C-alpha cells in the first residue's frame, strides 16, 4: 500500500489539483491513509491511522472542496454513466478497482418508504482497502480443530474501523488456501459480501485475496445470501460481515444446519454490547458461536484483545462484562 496504491488506483478518480495535494503528505502518512474525505465547501481531510490531516491553512495548506469537484468524482467513479451503477449508488457507495470504495452522502429520494436514489451529493468518503496478509495467522490454533479437521463457528467483534473486516478477510483466505505443511486442508469458502468490503469486488471480481477456494456473492443482503450459498455452492465455511438484524438469525440457522461453519463479525466494544442486540443475544444464548474474538486498536487495527469460548461469553454477558 502507500503512495503507489494511491497514485495508481485511487487518485485517478480525483480532479486536479487534489491528487497533488494528497501526494504532498509525508511518506509515513501516505502509507497509512485510510480515508480521503471531501465535503462541499469544507477543507479536504485525510485520515491516516490515528492521524488526521485537515487542509485548513493551519498545519496544512488551505483547500476547500467545491461542489463541482464532488460531481467530477461521482462521474469518474461511475465512468460517466450514473444509470449503469444506480443500484449500487442507491446503497450509498461505489466499488472502485483495487477493492477501494467511494461512499456518498446527500439528499435521498424515497419510493415506498425505501431509498430509490441519491441526489444533490455533497460528501464523498474514499476508503482505502488495506489487505494485511497474515493478520489472522495467530488465531488459527484457537479456531481450527485439528482432530476433527473443522473450523469452529466464530464471531469477530470490534468497534468500527478496529480491523474486524481485515481479520475476517484473512481468515477466509487462510482457510480457503489451506496449509499442506501443517495438515490443515483447504476448505470451500462462501463469502456473502453485502457491502463489497470483504473481497472488495469490482465488476463482480474480487480485488482482494480471499483464497483459492472462495466464492463471493457481492452486494447481496446477508439473510438471503447465506441461504443462496448453502443451496448453490455447498460451502464448508460461510463468511459474512456485520451480523445484527433479526432476519439474519434464520439464515444463520440454515448455515449451521447445513453442516457448514459460520465466520462472521459484529459491531461492539464489549460482550455486553452484543447482548443488548436481541438477534445477537439469541445466538449467543444458544451458544451458536464456539469462539468470540474481541478486537481493539491499542496496537493498531486488528489487535486481538481476547478470545472467548461460548460459555465464557455467556458468563461475561450475565456479569455485564
175 contacts 183 by C-beta, under 8 angstroms: no
Give the separation between CA 228 and CA 231, rounded to whole angstroms.
5
Stretch 223-233: mean pLDDT: 95
pLDDT band at 50 (very low <50, low <70, confident <90, very high): confident
Stretch 144-157: mean pLDDT: 96
96 contacts 202 by C-beta, under 8 angstroms: yes
Contacts (Cβ under 8 Å, ≥6 apart) of 102: 13, 73, 77, 93, 94, 96, 124, 125, 126, 127
168 contacts 139 by C-beta, under 8 angstroms: no
| Fold for the domain defined by 3-127 | Beta-Lactamase (3.30.450)
Domain boundaries, the chain: 3-127, 137-319
Question: 120 versus 112: which is more confidently predicted?
Answer: 120
Contacts (Cβ under 8 Å, ≥6 apart) of 178: 184, 185, 186, 187, 213
102 contacts 93 by C-beta, under 8 angstroms: yes
- What does the pLDDT read at residue 1? 55
137-319: CATH, from 3.90.230.10, 3.40.50.300, 3.40.190.290, 3.20.20.70? 3.40.50.300
- Bridge partners, residue 190, by sequence: 215, 238
23 contacts 30 by C-beta, under 8 angstroms: yes
pLDDT band at 84 (very low <50, low <70, confident <90, very high): low
233 contacts 176 by C-beta, under 8 angstroms: no
Average pLDDT along the chain: 91
Question: 84 versus 120: which is more confidently predicted?
Answer: 120
Amino acid at each position: 500500500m502507500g503512495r503507489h496504491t494511491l497514485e495508481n488506483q485511487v487518485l485517478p478518480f480525483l480532479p486536479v489539483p487534489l491528487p497533488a495535494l494528497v501526494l504532498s503528505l509525508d511518506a509515513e502518512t501516505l502509507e497509512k491513509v485510510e480515508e480521503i474525505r471531501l465535503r462541499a465547501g469544507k477543507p479536504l481531510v485525510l485520515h491516516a491511522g490515528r492521524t488526521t490531516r485537515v487542509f485548513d491553512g493551519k498545519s496544512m495548506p488551505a483547500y476547500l472542496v467545491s461542489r463541482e469537484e464532488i460531481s467530477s468524482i461521482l462521474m469518474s467513479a461511475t465512468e460517466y454513466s450514473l444509470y449503469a451503477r444506480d443500484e449500487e449508488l442507491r446503497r450509498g457507495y461505489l466499488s472502485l478497482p483495487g477493492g477501494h470504495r467511494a461512499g456518498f452522502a446527500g439528499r435521498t429520494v424515497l419510493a415506498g418508504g425505501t431509498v430509490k436514489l441519491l441526489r444533490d451529493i455533497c460528501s464523498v468518503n474514499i476508503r482505502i482497502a488495506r489487505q494485511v496478509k497474515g493478520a489472522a495467522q495467530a488465531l488459527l490454533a484457537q479456531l481450527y480443530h485439528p482432530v476433527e479437521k473443522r473450523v469452529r463457528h466464530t464471531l469477530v467483534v470490534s468497534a468500527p474501523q478496529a480491523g474486524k473486516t481485515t481479520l475476517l478477510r484473512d481468515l477466509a483466505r487462510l482457510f480457503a488456501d489451506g496449509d499442506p505443511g501443517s495438515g490443515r486442508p483447504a476448505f470451500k469458502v462462501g463469502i456473502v459480501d453485502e457491502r463489497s468490503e470483504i473481497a472488495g469486488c469490482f465488476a463482480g471480481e474480487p480485488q482482494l485475496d480471499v483464497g483459492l477456494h472462495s466464492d463471493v456473492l457481492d452486494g447481496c443482503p446477508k439473510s438471503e445470501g447465506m441461504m443462496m450459498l448453502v443451496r448453490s455452492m455447498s460451502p464448508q465455511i460461510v463468511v459474512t460481515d456485520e451480523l445484527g438484524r433479526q432476519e439474519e438469525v434464520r439464515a444463520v440457522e440454515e448455515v449451521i444446519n447445513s453442516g457448514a461453519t459460520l465466520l462472521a463479525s459484529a459491531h461492539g466494544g464489549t460482550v455486553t454490547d452484543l447482548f443488548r442486540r436481541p438477534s445477537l443475544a439469541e445466538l449467543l444464548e444458544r451458544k451458536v458461536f464456539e469462539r468470540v474474538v474481541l478486537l481493539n486498536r491499542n496496537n493498531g487495527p486488528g489487535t486481538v484483545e481476547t478470545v472467548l469460548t461460548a460459555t465464557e461469553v455467556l458468563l461475561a454477558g450475565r456479569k455485564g462484562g
